[in-house]
Amino acid sequence: MFKRCGNTRGSGEFCSDCWKKLEFIARPYCSICGQRFSIKILDNCICGNCYSNKPNYEFARSLFKCNEHSKKIVHQFKYQDKTIFAKTFAKLLYNRYSSEDIKDIDLIIPVPTNV
């Protein structure tokens, strides 16, 4: 495994330190916005925000929570030409969400867009 935490060499795999710092989002989460619920809840539930103000998209998903480490990785991917991260992001997204109905996805956007 090669370091992604600043080194530009390697296959794009995260180093073990980076893996430990990423907080992956797991069920249960809102079936629309993907916000993780803090309590045990059934799948396919909708959070209060989406119930009150339905978004203009069908659903959104994230790989991990936004913390200082994930911000750094997303920033490197988007603004420092670390496109080697794309392959790992794609594998992680597929492995995590392939059981959901993702056949007709129109767009994948690296968010937050302002990092």
pLDDT per residue, tens digit, the chain (115 aa), is: 334 455 434 566 777 888 888 888 888 899 999 988 888 887 789 999 999 999 998 888 888 888 898 888 888 888 888 888 888 888 888 888 777 666 677 777 766 656 5
What gap in Å lies between CA 77 and CA 19, rounded to an integer?
16
Tokens of 1: 């495994």
- The pTM is what? 0.68
Task: State the Cα–Cα distance between residues 35 and 9, nearest whole angstrom.
Answer: 34
Which amino acid is located at 24 in the chain? F
Dig out the tokens for 90 from the structure: 């794609």
The full set of domain ranges for the chain reads 24-62, 66-97
Name the token pair of 73: 């990785």
Angle at 84 between CA 79 and CA 90, to 5 degrees: 100
